[in-house]
Chain A
Amino acid sequence: MIVAAILSILITMALAVTRALLGKTVYDRILAVNVFGTKTVLLIAALAFLSGRPDILDIALAYALINFIGVIAVLRFFEYDGDAATRPEGE
């Protein structure tokens, strides 16, 4: 059953990566990467329970912290670049 949880998390990660590759605005990509990071935390927790070594949960905590701070930092970088939101690719 943990395998079912891991499979659903992986399906969600695949959908998020698809949005990150397709999304035409910068903010779509940041949103998809944020979802992907949250799902990575869940995947680390599920793998810790699957392998029977729950010590790996410390890594999941550290990853959640780094993911949040990284998203906020990238948003600070892009917030005042108003043209980037609606600019088509390659211009």
Chain B
Amino acid sequence: MAVAIDLLSWVLILVGGAFGIIGGIGLLRLPDFFSRIHAASVTDSMCAPCIIAGFMLQSGFTLVTVKLLFLIVFLFLTSPTASHALAKAALHSGLEPGKHYDGNTGKERQG
């Protein structure tokens, strides 16, 4: 049983790390600001809970697990809020979804 819990925690931690790297690559390579928000949401909503849940499985029934549970609930509540506020602020200030902005000048790119 202990071996199974250990194995599950390592699988969760590795899956979380993989999702983090995938989201980081998306943050670099996606063309539009709003699609980059999606990449950041991938890291916030898959990488962090998976890694923290893996640590929770490792720590057992202690106060550490409660602290990690607070951390996971807090990230679960705040990261969508931050993403929504970011998208609203960008939309409010004139960035439009679906338009590609040139990486060198910041101007809108034609075509």
Contacts and interface: CB of A to CB of B under 8 A. Distances in A.
B44 A27 contact: no
B48 A42 contact: yes
B75 interface: yes
Contact of A86 (B37, B51, B54, B106): B106
Contact residues of B: prevailing secondary structure: helix
Given A12-B24, A46-B51, A86-B106, A31 B86 contact: yes
A82 B28 CA distance: 24
Interface residues of B, number: 56
Interface in B53-104: 54-55, 58-59, 62, 64, 67-68, 70-71, 74-75, 78-79, 81-82, 85-86, 88-90, 92-95, 101-104
Contact residues of A: prevailing secondary structure: helix
Contact of B74 (A9, A30, A64, A86): A64
Contacts, number: 170
A19 B68 contact: no
Interface string B1-25: 0000000001001101110110111
Contacts of A14: 24
Contact of A25 (B40, B71, B90): B90
Interface of B: 10, 13-14, 16-18, 20-21, 23-25, 27-28, 33, 36-37, 40, 43-44, 47-48, 51-52, 54-55, 58-59, 62, 64, 67-68, 70-71, 74-75, 78-79, 81-82, 85-86, 88-90, 92-95, 101-108
21 contacts: A5-B13, A8-B17, A12-B23, A15-B25, A19-B27, A22-B28, A24-B104, A25-B106, A27-B33, A27-B86, A31-B86, A35-B23, A35-B43, A38-B44, A42-B47, A54-B67, A57-B71, A72-B81, A75-B89, A79-B88, A86-B94
Q: What are the 3 A-B residue pairs with the smallest beta carbon separation, nearest first?
A: A8-B17, A15-B24, A24-B106
